[in-house]
Structure 1
Amino acid sequence: MVNAKFSPSLMTMDLDKFKDQITFLNKHVDSYHIDIMDGHFVPNITLSPWFIEQVKRISSVPISTHLMVTNPTQWIDQLIKIGSDYICVHAEVMNGIAYRLINQVHNANLKFGVVLNPETKIDVITPYIDLVDKITIMTVDPGFAGEKFIDNTLEKIRELRVLRNINNFGYLIEMDGSSNKNTFEKIQKAGPDIYILGRSGLFGLNESIEESWHEMLEDFNKAKSQIL
């Protein structure tokens, strides 16, 4: 089993407690996950590059931007300028521009991630899998918080681990969607490197972010003990 890294999804945080929550999480998390949605790729509109700038004012924790957009080329320059540590694009919109995007991000000394929807097979990213720094497996349908967990997505996490070991690839494996006490055990069995935590797994557990964090760790470690 891999050592877990945690990445809170900031679209599910309590924005009226923005500074207090970020200040606490800065001491505990491995990265922040920031969703940008355009209302076209998914039927929702969420965070923005401006939001990333506000986080960076009070945090040095790495930021991973998840672009749920139809036209990622419209966003890359701005995210590079801001300095998003990871820029992650859906495989479903990368056909014909994949190498250009990857090179553009790497030339800026930033890291490139690719995201796969639940229905998208790993074969789609085979041509450039050796070039990406992170692969995110959506374990729910994208676009909204609170979606139902899709169990068969975990097989892609297992497959990515095997491919990485056989080929000595360098990508991290991340899961995104409904990571909480009800799913921790089966997710851990699949073995991603990074767990994205949303409202059901972190921010909605308690009024206090400190209490929520400790409750999440207790749930996570309890699930881990069931496997060991």
Structure 2
Amino acid sequence: MSRQIQLSPSLMTMNLDKFKEEIIFLNDKVNSYHIDIMDGHFVPNITLSPWFIEQVRKISDVPMSAHLMVTNPTFWVEQLINVKCDWICMPAEVVNGVAFRLIDQIHDAGLKAGMVLNPETSVDALAPYLDILDKVTIMTVDPGFAGQRFLTEMLDKITQLRQLREEKGYHYEIEMDGSTNKKHWKLLSDANPDIYIIGHSGLFGLTDDIASSWNQMVAEYEEETGFQFDNGVYKHN
């Protein structure tokens, strides 16, 4: 049995003093880069920006996915369209009244639209526009900071989204974000999202060297899940 999954490192958690080195190493190993954009209001933190995406593009052609944690999604969607961010994922909690307009705006620009569900928000909140989304991101931690407590019960949302996709013929991909590491690889693998966001505890913070950290991450995934890593295809032993 084989399983195709996607890996998306969270660049908020990378070692910025080794920015170029780590990006170049990861370019031929990952499916996308995860860019957290926080405004200090939706969550009490401020990180990254469309400008950061432009800097990464100078040394990478890997697709980039922006995770908005902002109170004014309209402003940020426009900025991300301007830099042609491949995926623009909005917080479901603040798009009431503008969701269809923003999704259409993203699609009209030839880009992909996603929604992010914080732990307290149910999958039902996406019901009006689930059929036109390209991605749904499930937060398995409270948003805003790295290192938050893993919320096991959020994995049920991944199962629910997979069932809905199969029943309704929806095309969105399912992504999980939060505490993706050795402690939780088995639980996450059983829930079977399409895309894993990997950050400090699962990759960048494992060692002082990105190649060693990558090898350790792969070894831990294989040990915990029983799947073997082979260029993005995970085959059951």
Normalised-by-shorter TM-score class = over 0.9
Worse-matched range after superposition: 112-121 or 1-10: 1-10
Question: How big is the shift at 1:222?
Answer: 1.4
Question: How big is the shift at 1:53?
Answer: 0.4
Residues 163-188 of structure 1, C-alpha deviations (whole Å, 9 max, x = no match): 01111110000000000000000011
Aligned match of 1:119? 120
Question: How big is the shift at 1:2?
Answer: 4.1
Aligned match of 2:206? 205
Structure 1 gaps of 5+ residues are none
Aligned match of 1:23? 24
Aligned match of 2:219? 218
SS, match of residue 146 in structure 1:
coil
The 1-side partners of 2:121 and 2:63 are apart by 27
RMSD after superposition: 1.2
Q: Are 1:2 and 1:193, in contact at CA under 8 Å, matched by a contact in 2?
A: no
The 1-side partners of 2:127 and 2:222 are apart by 34
Task: Name the TM-score, length of structure 2 as normaliser.
Answer: 0.94
Structure (1 or 2) with the greater strand fraction: 2
Question: Any runs of at least 4 consecutive aligned residues in structure 1 with deviations exceeding 2 A, and if so which?
Answer: none
Question: How big is the shift at 1:87?
Answer: 0.2
Aligned match of 1:48? 49
Aligned residues: 228
Task: Name the TM-score, length of structure 1 as normaliser.
Answer: 0.98
Aligned match of 2:83? 82
The 2-side partners of 1:223 and 1:119 are apart by 28
Question: How big is the shift at 1:105?
Answer: 0.1
SS, match of residue 58 in structure 1:
coil
Aligned match of 1:38? 39
Work out whether 1:145 is the aligned partner of 2:112.
no
Aligned match of 1:8? 9
Structure 1 vs Structure 2: percent identity of aligned residues?
59
Question: How big is the shift at 1:34?
Answer: 0.3
